[in-house]
Amino acid sequence: MTTQNSNKLLDNQISSVSPPAPGELSPENREVPAAYPKSAEIFSHNRRFIPGGVVSVNRAVQPEIAFVKGQGAHVWDADGNQYIDYHAAFAPHFLGHNDPHVTDAVISVLRKGDSLYGSGTTELEGRLAELICRNIPTVESVQFLNTGSEATYQAIRLARAVTHRDHIVVMQGGYNGWHDDVSCNLMTPLDVIGLRVSPGEYPYIPISAGIPFEHQKLVHPVNFNDLDSVESVCQKYSIAALITEPILQNIGIIKPEAGYLEGLRRLADRYGFILIFDEVKTGFRHAIGGYAKIAGVTPDLVVFGKAMANGYPIAALGGKKELMEWFVHPDPAQRVLLAGTYNAHPVPTVAAIATIERLLMEDGEVYRHVERLGQQMQKGLEAIFRVLGFEAVVARQGSAFCIYFMDHCPKDWHDLAGHHDFGFDEQLRRGLIKGGIYFFPIAAKQCSISSAHSEEDIEVTLGQIRNQLSEMLR
Ligand SMILES: Cc1ncc(COP(=O)(O)O)c(C=O)c1O
């Protein structure tokens, strides 16, 4: 285990190639200020009052653009530039920005005079809970929180309470939020984690300062797609929980190999740990029941967020009733505290109801639509790579995709970090932004298509990618 939190590492979480420490940009990365003068003004104003000028460090990227409007598949910046958006605010906007169905529901709940009461239950939270439990059979009971991080925190705490164990397993290359258990080992540079370890674990490499060393000893990062490593950790420690995204979607799209998720289920049953699927990114985007539904594997607990309310702040933690009942355990010493002033606030709650109702319409037509667009994007990209003679692959699940400049789809972080051309990827993304296509300008970040995208949007995007790559070749 390592105690250090190297700055190099922290920078590399933000950008693996040319890391901008928030507020301190190296000259070669600095955009010519004249390119986005109004954005520059907003950043400069905000830096006077907000450290680094942004309220989530993950949003501190180059070029510095302040957005002012989002509608459907498009966003506009303060300088009047329009973009086809594939960032989708880190993926929640599955129906596109300001989906009219969701917006109308939000306006009507406010007009009706609904408020946050903070005492007792509400009809709305019951409606949302029923909608989720009826449509996701593996969720027998559910609780609501405001963010994905809160929900993964509570899932892990619940698992520890139920098993009376402290250790947990996380994935190298996974992201499950900002709290102490999980803010570690994301895009860890290879010179920091060293050679591939299998079977076995990597040192806990924090992505934040301030995480107690004693706590770090409880967390065991292993490779994704590596059952032997999970088993070896289970033989060494009493594991309370394993938490994983079923597809690693914070380092692009890294899919589980055949049998991997089933294998995790078997190991959970054999070693008695709680299997937690973090479906904050995959849930509702790939299917109402998340990727677990597609894979046919049942976790003990599951966490949803993001696409669940199409951009409004709400998350859900659900699963087996016998586990969820620990939140109201009759013995106060065993009870798990779940509390939150804003839990199930009427605005995000009604947004979630409207989003899920919309996803259920026409027998899931939204999913068929985004799959068609995803295929169009993938085929178009593959044709461009063939014609231009690029070594590149497209990893995709439905509406979510990532281009890797390497000869195969990676199976874990080590594979990706060792083969992907991060510099080239970042150069492409920055070039696309200049051409009105917003791919988040950090290499290996997932791109998200929404149901508001059209075939024409995809064609325009492919044209820009073709132009940009041809230029980069020159
Ligand atoms: C898979 C996953 N889990 C958890 C989180 C944390 O969610 P939030 O940012 O809402 O706290 C994220 C955020 O990106 C995520 O992608």
Query: Is 306 part of the annotated catalytic residue set?
Result: yes
Report pLDDT for 34: 62
Q: Which token pair is 376?
A: 């169009």
Strand 437-438, strand 400-404: pairing: unpaired
What spacing in Å lies between the alpha carbon of 330 and ligand 1's midpoint? 31
Grouping H, G, I as helix, E, B as strand and the rest as coil, residue 178 is coil
Please, what are the domains in the chain?
A: 7-98+364-473 (3.90.1150.10), 100-362 (3.40.640.10)
Active site residue 175: yes
Assess whether the C-beta atom of 441 lies below 6 angstroms from ligand 1: no
Residues 409, 360 contacting (CB under 8 angstroms):
no
> From the CB of 90, is ligand 1 less than 6 Å away?
yes
Residue bearing the CA closest to ligand 1, atom 3: 176
- According to the model, what pLDDT value does residue 390 have? 87
Contacts of residue 383, Cβ cutoff 8 Å, sequence gap at least 6: none
| pLDDT at res. 474 | 86
In this prediction, residue 12 carries a pLDDT of 32
Give exposure, 132-146, as e/b (b: 16+ Cβ within 10 Å). Answer: bbeebebbebbbbbb
What separation in angstroms does the CA of 30 have from each of 40, 64, 66, 67, 425? Answer: 11, 9, 15, 18, 18
Contacts 24+ apart (CB under 8 A), 164-167: 165/238, 165/239, 165/240, 165/273, 166/218, 166/238, 166/240, 167/218, 167/219, 167/220, 167/233, 167/237, 167/238, 167/239, 167/240
Catalytic residue among 85, 278, 300, 457: 278
What's the gap in Å between 340 CA and the centre of ligand 1? 18
Q: What is the pLDDT of residue 51?
A: 96
Q: What pLDDT is stored for residue 90 in this prediction?
A: 98
DSSP class of 254: B
Residue 330: Cβ within 10 Å count: 7
402-407, long-range: CB within 8 Å, 24+ apart, which pairs?
A: 402/252, 402/253, 402/444, 402/445, 402/446, 402/447, 403/428, 404/252, 404/444
> Chunked in runs of 10, what are the mean pLDDT values of the chain (474 residues)?
29 33 39 78 98 95 97 98 98 98 98 97 98 96 98 98 98 98 97 96 97 97 98 98 98 98 98 98 97 98 98 98 98 98 98 98 97 98 96 98 98 98 97 98 98 98 98 91
312 annotated active-site = no
Tokens standing for 23? 């507020």
